[in-house]
Structure 1
Amino acid sequence: MAGALEGIRVLDLSRVLAGPFSSMILGDLGADVIKVEGPRSKDDTRFWGPPFKGNESAFYFCTNRNKRGITVDLKTIEGQNIIKKLIAESDVVIQNFKTGTLEKFGLSYEEMKSINPGIILASVTGFGATGPYKEFPGYDYIIQAMSGLMSITGDKQVGPTKVGVAITDVITSLYTTIGVLAALNERNESGEGQHIDIALLDSAVSSLINIASNYLTSGMVPGLLGNQHPNVVPYQTFACKDREMVIAVGNDRQFKKFTEVIGRPELADDELYKNNPSRLQNKDKLILIISEELKKKTSSEWQPLLQNAGIPNGPINDMKSVFEDPQVNAREMIVEMEHPTAEKIKIVGSPLKLSKTPVEIKRHPPLFGEHTNEVLEELGYTIEDIENLRNSDVI
């Protein structure tokens, strides 16, 4: 079955996470994605382990399925010519070199547009193409700090902490994908491509959503929020008899039901707690009361009681629990596939469930340069041409 982006070719000049994750999503949707690495400069994530399987890192597996892999030295004229031929036959280019690097290779957006007026270039950088920080390298951890995300993540005991995954890279990947899809749609009308300038810092700041809005409205600088919600109470982690769980009471109706479940229905009629603004004002005292009640039962005892009352709740799962969860498995969020050197590998499935054009995971994360000959032959290079390029270290 053809994917939603069947017939779209993506030239992936990016590496590590923010760019490759976006191009992988496009590949999952049916695009032909060609991943380019230097013949002597592999994607860094190939070395980021352990764990490794078949000499390939688990990190590399997570962002590179549904792609064909080639090697090209962009610093050589011959390599730049290969890339230009690919640009002529591509719809989208994704790159995350430092600002100005593509221009040094003679591959600016203007040059790309002269080769293919319909080309869409998505440039992913730490700080964007404009502003005083445009030349600075950007890494997820640094961006988590600079964006304000770490100033609200953590508690007074441990201090500021980062999110456990490279979340600003992930958010940036999603924005990049959205931008590419929007540009492809606009091109259907105009016939012309455009340049998409995506910055990790911009993306991270946008992810602050209500926290940013609260500050911009009130001028009040929030501190570390820990596991509590800044606007809603009770909405946080609670310790039960055995372990912690999350309970999220989103409105006054739910709060009334919640007080009945924990055996304290009088709290819903108390002027201190009867509505969310009052609960927020008196949250310290309320949380102490709730905490004492929740310690009387295990999380597995509380869960069905809360669920039946319509109170959102959930255990804090570790990775083992996540991938044993029947809901995760029912949603096909674990995919097992064949790999040429690692036999079988397990990867995370796609959250995109399209009824007419479902996602298909057809290609394993490519071996280093696995499809170089195949792609160059499609561009018209002969076997002799390819061997000459290889002997000259262009590929």
Structure 2
Amino acid sequence: MSNILENITVIDWTQNVAGPYCTQLLGDLGATIIKIERPGTGDDTRQWNSPSWEDEATAFLAFNRNKKSVCIDANDSKGQEVIKKLVEHADVFIHSLKPGSAEKRGLGYEQLAKINPSLIYTSISAFGESGPLRAYPGYDPLIQAYTGIMSVTGNPGDDPARVGVSIIDMATGMWALTGILSAIINRSNTGKGCLVGASLLETGLGWMNLPLTNYMATRKVPEKFGTGTAMVAPYEAFRTKDSWVIIAAGNNRLFSSLCHALGIPELLNDPRFESNKNRVANRKELHQTVEERCLGFNTTSIIKILQQANVPCSPINSTNDVYEDEQINSLEIIKKIDGFRISNFKIIDLPIRINNQRSTFRLPPPLLGEHTEEILKQAGYNSEEIELLKTEKVVGG
């Protein structure tokens, strides 16, 4: 699988999570990723070092494998010329600056397309390329709040809660990847590059597809349902003797299996629960009845009973449970990396397989500026020119 994009070179001028996750995915698929970082400090996530892994920030390690780091001062006119030199033979250029910032530095789409007409230029922004907030900075929790995701997350009456993983950032990286791969296919047919755009805001709106559709259809503002959903019941968490179990009986057949497994077949003859529509309308009474049965079992026991009846269910695992889980480990997606500067280093691999193969770990997350000289020499700079650029602090580590 790592050979799929082996002839693709990507100039990665992004930081934080969305852009780096996109380029890491490209790198996992075999592309050469040249990561441009600020001299001295680099990607902001290098300083997000709580927690850290042997003094290196886990936030950087998680999103920057299979890349080469080059330190270039993009605010310096000579640094901008270096970037243009790298773009000459690149396939993809991607940045995560505010709209207009790249153009001010002479590194906008129209400017770089003149240098390389086949370039696939990708821009990741917070609020998109138009509108009054186009130049306003944004991060994952801001967009979860702005797009309404926080309004439907958590239990009724609770304070606002952020989804506990960076769904906006990482999904934006995936949408940018989708655009880039589509553009690569288009270029193979036309020979022309194009402009790809993605934003955190549009990603958030994409996640809100169903709540917004429900609102447009009914003009009712969606509520918080905790672990449940507005459309199906029972489809939520229930207390057990020692913790919780999630049960998702998404149709009449599964509801029947649930009732028989829990020893409450009489619910099947109760008109309040004869259809999903009725079960949703009487969700509180249904929840109370099912939970009374669940409270008679510990979680391990009820999981076994429900799995034997083919009723979809799950414990609410903590991170250590996930790490030790037999099913998860059978997928070999958590992969140990030998020979890295961090002992016992492991990664979460690309979550797809092609021909039953996962990606290849070719390069560890780079040290700041680790590949500056190598990349500049490949771009045509000789040793004297590189030393001069270093002396002038245009490039460095």
Q: Give the secondary-structure state (helix, strand or coil) at the position aligned to 2:203.
A: helix
**1:140-289 mapped onto 2 (5 Å cutoff):** 140-289=140-289
* Native 8 Å contact 1:3 1:358 kept in 2: no
- Matched residue SS, 2:272: coil
Q: Offset at 1:271?
A: 1.1
SS at match of 2:196: strand
TM-score of the aligned structures, taking structure 1 as reference length: 0.97
- CA 1:129–1:137 in structure 2 vs 1: closer, same or farther (change >3 Å)? same
Are residues 191 and 71 of structure 1, via their aligned partners in 2, closer, same or farther at CA, if it must alter by over 3 Å? same
Deviation at 1:4, TM superposition (A): 1.1
Question: In the TM superposition, what is the alpha-carbon distance from 1:183 to its structure 2 partner?
Answer: 0.8
**Whole-Å Cα distance in 2 between the matches of residues 119 and 386 of structure 1?**
26
C-alpha spacing 1:280/1:42, structure 2 compared with 1 (3 Å): same
Give 1:370 shift. 0.5
1:1-395 to 2 correspondence within 5 Å?
Answer: 3-338=3-338, 341-355=341-355, 358-395=358-395
Q: Distance in 1 between matches of 2:321 and 2:344?
A: 22
1:154 partner amino acid: G
| Partners of 1:256 and 1:300 in 2: CA distance | 21
Displacement after TM superposition at 1:321 (Å): 0.7
Deviation at 1:344, TM superposition (A): 4.0
Q: Is the 8 A contact 1:258 1:309 kept in 2?
A: yes
Q: Retained in 2: the 8 A contact 1:3–1:359?
A: no
Bigger mean CA offset, 262-271 vs 208-217:
208-217
How far apart are 1:375 and its partner, in Å? 0.6
Give, in whole Å, the separation in 1 of the partners of 2:361 and 2:213.
39
Percent identity, aligned pairs only, is 36
Structure 1: gaps (5+ residues): none
Shift of 1:40: 3.1
Per-residue CA distance 1:249-306 (angstroms, 9 max, x = gap)? 1111100111001101111221110110010111111111011011000111111211
Structure 1 contact 339–364 (Cα < 8 Å) conserved: no
Report the secondary structure of 1:172's partner residue: helix
Give, in whole Å, the separation in 2 of the partners of 1:318 and 1:26.
30
Q: What is the CA–CA distance in structure 2 between the aligned matches of 1:157 and 1:242, rounded to whole Å?
A: 25
Contact 2:2–2:360 (CA<8 Å) still a contact in 1?
no
Q: Could you report, residue by residue, the CA deviation over 1:220-260 in whole angstroms, capped at 9, with x for unpaired residues?
A: 10122211111000000111111112111111110011100
Cα deviation for residue 157 of structure 1 reads 4.3
Structure 2 counterpart SS, 1:335:
strand
Q: Deviations over 1:301-328 (max 9, x none)?
A: 1112111211111111111110111121
The CA deviation at 1:338 is 4.2
1:227 corresponds to which letter in structure 2?
T
Contact 2:234 2:248 in 1 (8 A): yes
For residues 347-372 of structure 1, the C-alpha deviation after alignment (integer angstroms, 9 at most, x for no partner) is: 21221111176411111000000011
Deviations 1:330-352 (A, max 9, x none): 11121222465434422212211
SS at match of 2:271: coil
Aligned 8 A contact 2:34 2:70 in 1: yes
Distance across 2 between alignment mates of 1:273 and 1:286: 8
Give 1:86 shift: 1.2
Q: CA 1:178–1:54 in structure 2 vs 1: closer, same or farther (change >3 Å)?
A: same
Amino acid corresponding to residue 135 of structure 1 in structure 2: A
Instruction: String of CA shifts for 1:143-202, please: whole Å, max 9, x gaps.
Output: 000000000001234222001112111111111111111111111111111111211111
Normalised TM-score (structure 2): 0.97
Counterpart amino acid of residue 82 in structure 1: V
Distance 2:321 2:53 in 1: 22
Residue identity in the other structure for 1:233 = A
Measured in 1, the distance between the counterparts of 2:284 and 2:104 equals 58
Per the TM alignment, residue 49 of structure 1 is displaced from its structure 2 partner at its CA by 2.1
Give the secondary-structure state (helix, strand or coil) at the position aligned to 2:302.
Answer: helix
One-letter code of the match for 1:355? N
Mapped to 1, the partners of 2:318 and 2:28 lie a distance apart of 27
Distance change in 2, residues 1:259/1:362 (3 Å) = same
| Inter-partner Cα distance in structure 1 for 2:149 and 2:67 | 32
Asked if the contact 1:54–1:341 (Cα under 8 Å) also holds between the matched residues in 2, the reply is no
SS at match of 2:273: coil
Tell me the amino acid that sits aligned with residue 133 of structure 1.
L
Unpaired runs of 5+ in structure 2?
A: none
